[in-house]
């Protein structure tokens, strides 16, 4: 039982030694614990680092320790990943179940893509300005349901509810306009106190890492219920989070300047070192690549989202999740929702030879993403996968 | 140390033996634990019932046990309250600190008062119909921030943020229109699974009890940010919950028929035994009684709120909180927010001889409520108290 192994990783792996994302995994018949990924292997950190902080069913106990601990652990994982490890500390990603990696505190969803907000505005308010007056002044956002954030691979049960009809009276039944929203999620590791806004330059002291998000949306339910208080049942039935959380430090090579912002944001939203992320997203629908949304075009930066979310004195907690909102580019091939790709259902998408608009039962959507890795090459964020089950 | 005491309660107490609300309290220098209130005393349930389920910093471990356990414990508390108790099991409410009684899961806020929604509609859309087309078809609601639910007595720091101005460009600073919303909150004890809506007649299998809520609101922040995705920073800075949770079974005498609903709700919102609650709310502002909102006039019932919230398959968790939205009556003396009492700031309120509209620093608001008790007399819900601290 003292055999040792060295994990071999192909040079073009998206999970090389510059990435090392975290997960919560469950070896057959064992309790969940925290792991780090190298190639197609998971390193059991409770064993490899001999630390009970990782013998936990979520990353929260680790995340709450704060950025100095995150850096130290990342360095120790890097050393371990490069060493011979006890065989008992190494599992194949295919032999284990992956759990939701984070115990979610609050879930906030932003609306930070100019291309997405413009497209939605054109569809929903064709007679008016596509952007509402507040959009260029603040990152619009709202609270979603934390209790229905599920891990990648969880089936999505088609929601039922009151659906908008042309008559002005709703009908009731399973959503007929079930949609996706490809987003990037940011996970708060170290929280903040009531009355203490997080300034833009303190982002890395609080945010532990990123994960992909699919914010499933029932457009017919949402369209009927959404005034005046915003989305509720059209979103709350499920939000899928990737099983892998990429540490913020793994994305330093992906940092890029933000697109220009006009008008200039208020001082609390300015940041001398503001950055966006060059993350290329892919959306596959039943195995067909249907879109490649570019995160680099997002208008509001992750640091601006967090600064805005807390400027009113709101506290944050370990496990809080805030997502970017749908990532869309300017081109049809870069849209992050079926609502946009099918232009509200009016321009069907050719899916393996069939004309389609929204999701059917049995459909599977897989969202993946890649980014430049530190030291060259690329890294792959954990996928977000979900299949639609009937209502 | 074996002395025993019998708690004496005046006949007109709002905390008599028919009430017995729960709290989490912290005797000087000791760890927080669960108590039940009788008169001006708190019974330490971990001691009185010799059960470690109550040696916990929240009611969650107890609530998650489900309705049969809730009934059994309530009967055991009733017996204990009528007996001689070990002196070590009894504390004065004035000698302990009260903590937030529940670890909040998700927080949903409804908009269930016809009088409130009508008043807000008249103010915000004076040219149109006061009610939006969906209002009489479903209980409109949205998700609030669970992490900033605080216990009664916590100071409320005036939020800062982007404020709407007449120019169309926002300015930035402390809210000038800081408001209250007097609400009733319902606490989910026993959760439900994804894909399993909670029908109206299953309400009492899931809801543990009720508490008063003040959903503080910054109207100038809310007015600027709120389209198209609803309230965010105008609400997220704080929501106050009473320290006492009244068991649902203590309110059976308060049940009353619902007001008529037109049009007839869809089948999932119907309930043969639907009920509202005859709870009389009082709002005191700097010691002056300024409003007495009647919960009995609420349009949507608590069971309809829960059925609607879950009809899309949303799961619920122990500790989820859903609140009624502002409780208002038809009369000016019955409005549950300063926005309504001062009609958007245009009709000042005489407060101890001074004309006032919204909250100033140093102001204190106390919301209390009473209801008929089982066996006659009345019960008092736990108060919600908060003082405004400067930004």
Tell me the domain boundaries of chain A.
Answer: 4-99, 107-389
CA dihedral A52, A56, A61, A67 (to 10 degrees): 70
B166 DSSP 8-state letter: T
Which chain B residues contact residue A195 at CB under 8 A? Answer: 157
In chain B, which residue's Cα lies nearest the Cα of A172? B266
CB contact under 8 A, B227 and A315: no
What is the pLDDT at residue A1? 54
Residue to substitute from A196, A232, A235, interface B, most B β-carbons within 10 A: A232
- Please state the φ and ψ torsions of residue B126, each to the nearest 5 degrees: -60, -25
CA dihedral B60, B62, B63, B66 (to 10 degrees): 140
Maximum CA extent, chain A? 72
- Tokens read off for A193: 């106190």
Does A22 lie at the interface with B, CB-CB under 8 angstroms?
no
As beta bridge partners, residue A210 has A186, A246
Q: Which of B133, B143, B317 sits opposite A144 (nearest CB)?
A: B143
Which chain B residues contact residue A161 at CB under 8 A? Answer: 311-312
Alpha-carbon distance of B43 to B33, in angstroms, equals 10
Task: Give residue-wise pLDDT tens across range B53-64.
Answer: 999 999 999 999
The nearest CA of chain A is from the CA of B134 a distance in Å of 6
CB contact under 8 A, B227 and A132: yes
Residue to substitute from B110, B215, B229, interface A, most A β-carbons within 10 A: B229
What is the pLDDT at residue A168? 82
Task: Give residue-wise pLDDT tens across range B212-269.
Answer: 999 999 999 999 999 999 999 999 999 999 999 999 999 999 999 999 999 999 999 9
A107-389: CATH class? alpha beta
Judge whether A355 is annotated as a binding position. Answer: no
Neighbours of B199 (CB within 10 A): 18
What is the pLDDT at residue A356? 98
Assess contact for B132 and A227: CB atoms under 8 A: yes
- Please state the φ and ψ torsions of residue A285, each to the nearest 5 degrees: -120, 115
Judge whether A347 is annotated as a binding position. Answer: no
Neighbours of A352 (CB within 10 A): 9
The helix (run of H) or strand (run of E) holding residue A370 is strand A364-372
Task: Exactly one of B19, B116, B206, B308 is catalytic; name it.
Answer: B116
Banded model confidence at residue B168, pLDDT cuts 50, 70, 90: confident
In chain B, which residue's Cα lies nearest the Cα of A267? B172
Task: Give residue-wise pLDDT tens across range B25-45.
Answer: 999 889 999 999 999 999 999
What is the pLDDT at residue B1? 54
Judge whether A326 is annotated as a binding position. Answer: yes
A57 DSSP 8-state letter: S
B47-54 long-range contacts (CB < 8 A, ≥24 apart) are B47/B86, B47/B88, B47/B89, B48/B77, B48/B80, B48/B85, B48/B86, B48/B89, B49/B73, B49/B76, B49/B77, B49/B80
Assess contact for B245 and B102: CB atoms under 8 A: yes
Residue reference for tokens 């009151």? A162
Burial call B97-120: b when 16+ CB within 10 Å, e when fewer:
ebbbbbbbbbbbbbbbbbbbbbbb
Neighbours of A390 (CB within 10 A): 9
The helix (run of H) or strand (run of E) holding residue A241 is strand A239-241
Which chain B residues contact residue A146 at CB under 8 A? Answer: 105-106, 146
Assess contact for A343 and A297: CB atoms under 8 A: no
Maximum CA extent, chain B? 72
As beta bridge partners, residue A208 has none
In chain B, which residue's Cα lies nearest the Cα of A315? B148
Q: State the binding site of B.
A: 109, 111, 125, 181, 183, 215, 222, 235, 239, 326
Q: Under DSSP, is residue A266 helix (H, G, I), strand (E, B) or coil?
A: coil
Alpha-carbon distance of B338 to B329, in angstroms, equals 13
The distance of Cα A70 from the centroid of its chain, to the nearest Å, equals 20
Q: Which of B106, B148, B315 sits opposite A314 (nearest CB)?
A: B148
Distances from the Cα of A91 to the Cα of A9, A94, B194, angstroms: 14, 8, 30
Nearest 5°: the CA angle B66, B69, B74 is 120
Alpha-carbon distance of B241 to B152, in angstroms, equals 6
Q: Which of B134, B221, B311 sits opposite A312 (nearest CB)?
A: B221
Residue to substitute from B228, B237, B316, interface A, most A β-carbons within 10 A: B228
Assess contact for A193 and A315: CB atoms under 8 A: yes
Judge whether A165 is annotated as a binding position. Answer: no
Banded model confidence at residue B274, pLDDT cuts 50, 70, 90: confident
Structural fold of domain A4-99: SH3 type barrels. (2.30.30)
In chain B, which residue's Cα lies nearest the Cα of A130? B228
Assess contact for A134 and A140: CB atoms under 8 A: yes
Which DSSP string do the residues of B46-61 spell out, in sequence order? HHHTT-GGGSSSSSHH
Judge whether A239 is annotated as a binding position. Answer: yes
Alpha-carbon distance of A179 to A215, in angstroms, equals 9
Which residues numbered 259-318 in A keep a CB inside 8 Å of some CB on B? Answer: 263, 266-268, 308-309, 311-317
CB contact under 8 A, B236 and A314: yes
| Average pLDDT over chain B, rounded to an integer | 96
**Residue numbers of A annotated as active site:** 116
The nearest CA of chain B is from the CA of A312 a distance in Å of 4
Pairing of strands A156-157, A378-389: parallel
Task: Give residue-wise pLDDT tens across range B63-116.
Answer: 999 999 999 999 999 999 999 999 999 999 999 999 999 999 999 999 999 999
Mean pLDDT within B148-174: 95
Burial call B19-47: b when 16+ CB within 10 Å, e when fewer:
bbbbbbbbbeeeebbbbbbbbebbbbbbb
Residue reference for tokens 């404020």? B163
As beta bridge partners, residue A178 has A218
In order along its 391 residues, chain A shows pLDDT tens digits of 579 999 999 999 999 999 999 999 999 889 999 999 999 999 999 999 999 999 999 999 999 999 999 999 999 999 999 999 999 999 999 999 999 999 999 999 999 999 999 999 999 889 999 999 999 999 999 999 999 999 999 999 999 999 988 888 999 999 999 999 999 999 999 999 999 999 999 999 999 999 999 999 999 999 999 999 999 999 999 999 999 999 999 999 999 999 999 999 999 999 877 899 999 999 999 999 999 999 999 999 999 999 999 999 999 999 999 999 999 999 999 999 999 999 999 999 999 999 999 999 999 999 999 999 999 999 999 999 999 999 9
The nearest CA of chain B is from the CA of A229 a distance in Å of 4
Judge whether A183 is annotated as a binding position. Answer: yes
CB contact under 8 A, B233 and A195: no
Alpha-carbon distance of A265 to A145, in angstroms, equals 29
Assess contact for A70 and A208: CB atoms under 8 A: yes
Question: Nearest-CA neighbor of A143 among A111, A103, A181?
Answer: A111
What is the pLDDT at residue B271? 83
CB contact under 8 A, B147 and A105: yes
Which residues numbered 111-150 in A keep a CB inside 8 Å of some CB on B? Answer: 111, 124, 132-134, 137-138, 140-148, 150
In chain A, which residue's Cα lies nearest the Cα of B140? A225
What is the pLDDT at residue B29? 87
- State the ipTM, two decimals: 0.96
Q: Which of A225, A231, A236 sits opposite B138 (nearest CB)?
A: A225
Which chain B residues contact residue A266 at CB under 8 A? Answer: 162, 170, 172
Report whether pLDDT(B20) > 90: yes
Structural fold of domain B113-389: Fumarylacetoacetate hydrolase; domain 2 (3.90.850)
Question: Nearest-CA neighbor of B373 among B10, B22, B20?
Answer: B20
Q: Which of B313, B316, B317 sits opposite A159 (nearest CB)?
A: B313
A162 phi-psi bin (left φ>0, alpha ψ -120 to 50, beta other): beta
Residue to substitute from A229, A268, A269, A315, interface B, most B β-carbons within 10 A: A229
CB contact under 8 A, A309 and B230: no
Q: Which of A134, A142, A172 sits opposite B266 (nearest CB)?
A: A172
Assess contact for A45 and A34: CB atoms under 8 A: yes
């Amino acid at each position: 039982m003292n055999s040792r192994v060295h994990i071999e990783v192909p040079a073009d792996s998206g999970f090389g030694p510059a990435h090392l994302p975290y997960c919560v995994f469950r070896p057959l018949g064992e309790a969940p614990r925290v792991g780090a990924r190298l190639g197609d292997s998971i390193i059991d950190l409770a064993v490899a680092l001999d630390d009970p902080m990782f013998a936990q069913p979520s990353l929260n106990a680790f995340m709450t320790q704060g950025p100095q601990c995150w850096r130290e652990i990342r360095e120790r994982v890097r050393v371990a990943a490069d060493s011979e490890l006890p065989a008992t500390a190494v599992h194949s990603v295919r032999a284990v179940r992956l759990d939701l990696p984070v115990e979610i505190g609050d879930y906030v969803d932003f609306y930070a893509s100019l291309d997405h907000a413009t497209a939605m505005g054109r569809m929903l308010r064709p007679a008016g300005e596509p952007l509402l007056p507040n959009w260029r002044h603040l990152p619009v956002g709202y609270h979603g349901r934390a209790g229905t954030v599920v891990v990648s691979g969880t089936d999505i049960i088609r929601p039922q509810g009151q659906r908008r009809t042309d008559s002005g009276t709703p009908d009731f039944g399973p959503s007929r306009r079930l949609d996706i929203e490809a987003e990037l999620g940011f996970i708060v590791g170290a929280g903040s106190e009531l009355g203490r806004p997080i300034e833009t330059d303190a982002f890395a002291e609080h945010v532990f890492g990123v994960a992909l998000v699919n914010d499933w949306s029932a457009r017919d339910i949402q369209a009927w219920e959404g005034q005046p208080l915003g989305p509720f049942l059209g979103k709350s039935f499920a939000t899928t989070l990737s099983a892998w959380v990429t540490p913020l430090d793994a994305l330093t090579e992906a940092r890029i300047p933000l697109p220009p912002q006009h008008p200039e944001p208020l001082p609390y939203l300015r940041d001398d070192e503001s950055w966006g992320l060059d993350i290329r997203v892919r959306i596959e629908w039943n195995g067909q690549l249907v879109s490649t949304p570019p995160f680099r075009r997002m208008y509001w930066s992750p640091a601006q989202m967090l600064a805005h979310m807390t400027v009113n004195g709101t506290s944050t907690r370990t496990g809080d999740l805030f997502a970017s909102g749908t990532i869309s580019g300017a081109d049809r091939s870069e849209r992050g929702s079926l609502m946009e790709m099918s232009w509200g259902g009016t321009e069907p998408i050719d899916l393996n030879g069939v004309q389609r608009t929204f999701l059917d039962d049995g459909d599977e959507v897989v969202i993946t993403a890649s980014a430049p890795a530190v030291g060259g090459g690329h890294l792959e964020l954990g996928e977000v996968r979900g299949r639609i089950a009937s209502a």
